[in-house]
A and B are shown apart, each in its own frame.
Chain A
Amino acid sequence: MAKVANRALPTLALFFGVLGYFVTFYFHFLTVGFIVLSFFNFYLLAGQKTHTLLHNYGILAQLRYILESIGPEFRQYLFSNDTEERPFSRVERSDVYRKAKGIDSSAAFGTQKEYDSGEIKIRHSLFPVDHADIEPFALKFGEERGIKNIHTINKPIMISAMSYGALGQNAVRALARGARKSQITMNTGEGGYPKYHLMEECELIFQMGTAKFGVRNDDGSLNDQKLAELSQNPFIKMVEIKLSQGAKPGKGGLLPKEKITEEIAYLRGVPMGRDVISPAHHLECVDPNSTIAFIRRVQEVSQLPVGIKLCYGQREEMRSILLEMKKQNIFPDYISIDGGEGGTGAAPKGFMDDVGVPLFAALPAMRKFIAEFEIEGRFKLICAGKLINPAKQFMALSMGANACYSARGFLLALGCIQALQCNKNTCPVGITTHQAHLQGGLDIEFKSDRIYNYVKALEHEHIELLGAIGKRRYSDLNPSNLFMPTSLLEART
């Protein structure tokens, strides 16, 4: 085939050249085309040695690369069925889109999922509770320590950590404005001073990553004064110390150089032109003792509720840090468990795919420790990891979480099409990019309404689910609400 193509190109050039000479000069349009292709083919076959396939098969191999490069789009639009895409199938995404657009998200003719005993399911009650009897949700962070600046959330869902840098300014502002409209709390991500988050005056959790952008000294240690000043801002309601994240547990944050603008470099205090890789751990946190001391320091400096975010890893480490907290009687105000499934963050594929314990295995393990050490009620438990729909959120809440974080759910509500280009600054819907022409299509006001609709729909389904389970309060949810597949139960024991 390749040999035929290699000979056909110059032959066709010659053929049309003859026609151009004897019939009409217009044929030379084709002559020129085939001459150019022949030269290109010759270069691939003989002029380059970088690609074996191109060297051996010339322009035919080039066709193969072209088809491969457009493969993801073809698969997404034409060939993948509604339930097989990852990380979110078309069915899951469509559900969020419909909720965000405020249109009917009911389905018909049965589930498209494999409904068998291999998945976690929610157990309904024979005696559902009327919606009118369901008590409103309220969770108070910091109440355990009796601090002045308690932060109360009235919905069990918050926007997870996404920094300005990872997202463009329009996306950040649309999310923040949507958060304000829906009265939910939003995490700033580890992007330094949250300039665009603050513009929309929503309630914020300031996240401090291992590089401590925005509150760091030159050596990477915490600058107490900067943190104290930031904590004075009336919209910063809590501080979160990120110890690790699900996308790349055990590694620091990563912002690809393609996404570093002058403003981002300024806000974070980093140079342009190279990837910004945060350290794998906080300078101050090297063992349970030092980590607890750091948590206490941040609590004292900020005078706000302070949480830690981590991806569940080694069991013994978690045991020892919780035991040490109990021994010293110092607890964070919340612990956020990030599932190892990965999220919006750019990460090495190996880390994303295979490092970190999945959320639905980590949560019960945490609850087991909490019960064993009798530290129930000393801190809140938040969780994150593909919790984009109400049922998954209810599974997490039943397993012991007090509230849920979602990042990608809100990105889908903003219009994310799962193009998987978050790390390339080429997001086609203007969310994870800083290119002005791509961000141009993301109207802040319009998209913030999508966030509002999404939260409203989640809240509505939450109440319906709570009633169906037969509970009046979110705090009544427990693992007995869930059907656990035998395989998961065996793994746990």
Chain B
Amino acid sequence: MRNTGLWFLQILSSIILLGPAWSKINSLPSSIELFQTLGMEPYGRIIVGIVEAGAAICLVLPKMHSIGALMSLSVMIGALIAHTTVIGFFHPPWIWLMFVNLISSTLILYLRKDDIIVQ
């Protein structure tokens, strides 16, 4: 049961991350515009895109789930800061997915805490 739940969350977070990672790495106009607003175009966009893609892959790789979740959570916190301080919450329309991923990544990390805490 626990494993099924974890896999559901991992796949969910991975799928959520794939879209934005794709748009950032492929320099879609919406991404460029977003990172121009943040003053991080193009390096910031590429770095965040690579981290998102890495997280999406790690989340579904054996023994890498926790690292994937940690990367995913970090990106989501960054996104939250960006939307809170600069961009606002009005666009894009799928902004709510960010919160879903934030919760999902946190849950994965909590359930896999034994993989992270060295004891």
Contact = CB atoms under 8 A, between A and B. Distances in A.
Interface of A: 17, 20-21, 24-26, 28-29, 31-33, 35-36, 40, 43-44, 48, 50-51, 54, 62, 65-66, 69
Interface stretch (B15-23, B37-45, B52-60, B89-97): B37-45
Contact of A26 (B44, B77, B86, B117): B44
B34 to A, nearest CB: 11
Interface residues of B, number: 18
Nearest to A44: B117
A21 B85 contact: yes
B73 A25 contact: no
B81 interface: yes
A211 B40 CA distance: 67
A35 B77 contact: yes
A32 B117 contact: no
B109 to A, nearest CB: 9
Given A33-B74, A36-B70, A36-B73, A28 B119 contact: no
Contacts of A21: 85
Interface of B: 38-40, 44, 70, 73-74, 77-78, 81-82, 85-86, 113, 116-119
Please report whether the interface of chain B is mostly helix, strand, loop or mixed according to DSSP.
Answer: helix
B74 A62 contact: no
Contact of B81 (A32, A40, A44, A66): A32
19 contacts: A17-B81, A20-B81, A21-B85, A24-B39, A25-B38, A25-B40, A25-B44, A25-B86, A26-B40, A28-B82, A32-B74, A32-B77, A36-B70, A36-B77, A48-B117, A51-B117, A51-B119, A62-B118, A66-B118
Contacts of A54: 117, 119
Contacts of B117: 44, 48, 51, 54, 62
A66 B118 CA distance: 6
Nearest to A43: B113
Given A25-B38, A31-B78, A31-B81, 7 more contacts: A25-B39, A26-B40, A29-B78, A36-B77, A43-B113, A51-B119, A66-B118
Nearest to B35: A25
Nearest to B116: A40
Nearest to B114: A50
A69 B119 CA distance: 8
A32 B78 contact: yes
> What 4 pairs across the A-B complex have the smallest Cβ distances?
A65-B118, A25-B38, A32-B78, A32-B77
A306 B53 CA distance: 63
A65 B119 contact: yes
Contacts of B119: 50-51, 54, 65
B74 A36 contact: yes
A43 B73 CA distance: 15
B20 to A, nearest CB: 16
A65 B82 CA distance: 35
A48 B81 CA distance: 28
A200 to B, nearest CB: 33
Contacts of B86: 25
B110 to A, nearest CB: 8
Contacts of A25: 38-40, 44, 82, 86
Contacts of B81: 17, 20, 28, 31-32
Contacts of A44: 117
B50 to A, nearest CB: 13
Contacts of B44: 25-26
B114 to A, nearest CB: 10
A44 B85 CA distance: 29
